[in-house]
Structure 1
């Protein structure tokens, strides 16, 4: 294990990934966040509570995708990467949240967001994305829509520890739940997909009734501290990439310690 016994082989290369914290004002708490509990048969993160998201797909590399909001160059500066990767990460974020919970961060123009996308035709669009029969760019062009990159805010950046067999370089985005849309539980990757009260879910993790990875816990804690959904999404702070590493504490127990890899503006 890296950080303890060392490793004899190079750590696996991390896959770029995007995840989105959809938030809305809550009835019993200031802010609710939409989360999924992955089915127990999943190879990666079985039974874990996660935000909608996933790895960058080859078809996310679409430079001519209809786009509104901060440009790929502006996102590159914010994400600490180049324009090509920045665009792929933003596209992956918007694509994944549509595939997994039916929320589409796009509109006819730069100032509007599409309304209800829960009908059968939209379900067919999601299925075609999941089966890779179409790219997200093709969907937008056919529907005369533009991706609204301004609806996303970068919140966090985590790198899977080097000792893990499957690694992700994950960017955490936040977005307000669009008016007129409904986040659903149609994904086959989760057995539960619901709006959660952050402090309730955190208490379930503490009691052992629920499971989350450390990056998810940290970000749910941030949502729990927010005063409103709009304030949470509007907050922009310096983001530092974090990579946990396994170490032994004074009692000899193996624990994860956060290592700050680098900072982004």
Structure 2
């Protein structure tokens, strides 16, 4: 596999491959407070998946064109504020926040929403909720229609912008992924809803990052980099309140005597985990669960 990847990169550096446009995507780092600090919700991709097999990921996925319609069902910071945080236009910012809410519900059963009278959503375990969740997954139900039917508002105030990673240009499958933080809402719980994951778990952030370092948990650089940054925070509130100046991170491949290495552009915080794990885009994968 490493030899195949090196050849793909070599062809890219020789100008022999076309650069595929990156699809916009959102990924949500779902957190809760634990006995030893914040805990993170991770899904392990099934080993039979065409990409990211066996990788530990956060809930997330590609933006649906209909996600922009969620602007009429909104509570919290306006799309313009998200656009400023992620350096994009308000329409895309709307879609990214909506995709973050939708994908979190699809892949964990947690819904970042409230009733129009302001009361929070606290229980999404009923059969009717499950029917809606499955309809969102298969695309027969748009997020805006789901919110309308249930008289709900998307809670943008429950999310925080955290990072922005772009799949390298040599990859055949590319994503432009914005990462969000969210605390588990009171009264809600995650559920193992199957699908593309064969295992879901809550782990202390420190333990999850140590698992990456010792090789017991496989994950992409973007996932591990997020965990590393979160180890500095004693609880969820601290992480959610942390200021973040977000810039896109893009890995550039360099071949030196046949050895494949990566340089990173645009990182405004601690250096990405260069040399510790394959970067975003290896094996044509993405750190999110792209549907």
TM-score, normalising length from structure 1? 0.92
Deviates more, 1:108-117 or 1:36-45: 108-117
Asked if 2 retains the 8 angstrom alpha-carbon contact of 1:115 and 1:181, the reply is yes
Residue 141 of structure 1: which of 128, 131, 148 is its match? 148
Asked if 2 retains the 8 angstrom alpha-carbon contact of 1:4 and 1:247, the reply is no
Secondary structure of the residue that 1:156 maps to in structure 2?
strand
Residue 26 of structure 2: which of 12, 18, 35 is its match? 18
Residue 235 of structure 2: which of 218, 228, 242 is its match? 228
Q: Paired residue for 1:214?
A: 221
For structure 1, the residue ranges without an aligned partner over 5 or more in a row are none
Q: State the distance in 2 between where 1:4 and 1:64 align.
A: 39
Residue 75 of structure 1: which of 78, 82, 100 is its match? 82
Q: Deviations over 1:53-104 (max 9, x none)?
A: 0000122131553111111122212211111111010100000000000000
Q: Paired residue for 1:59?
A: 66
Q: Deviations over 1:200-240 (max 9, x none)?
A: 22233233322111011100112222111111012122111
Q: State the distance in 2 between where 1:177 and 1:63 align.
A: 21
Are residues 234 and 6 of structure 1, via their aligned partners in 2, closer, same or farther at CA, if it must alter by over 3 Å? farther
Q: State the distance in 2 between where 1:225 and 1:211 align.
A: 21
Question: What is the CA distance between 1:4 and its match in structure 2?
Answer: 7.6
Deviates more, 1:158-167 or 1:67-76: 67-76
Residue 264 of structure 2: which of 250, 258, 262 is its match? 258
Q: Paired residue for 1:180?
A: 187
Residue 100 of structure 1: which of 103, 107, 125 is its match? 107
Question: What is the CA distance between 1:248 and its match in structure 2?
Answer: 4.2
Secondary structure of the residue that 1:113 maps to in structure 2?
coil
Q: State the distance in 2 between where 1:130 and 1:54 align.
A: 11
TM-score, normalising length from structure 2? 0.84
Q: Number of matched residues?
A: 261
Q: Given the alignment of the two structures, is residue 6 of structure 1 paired with residue 14 of structure 2, yes or no?
A: yes
Backbone CA RMSD of aligned residues: 2.1
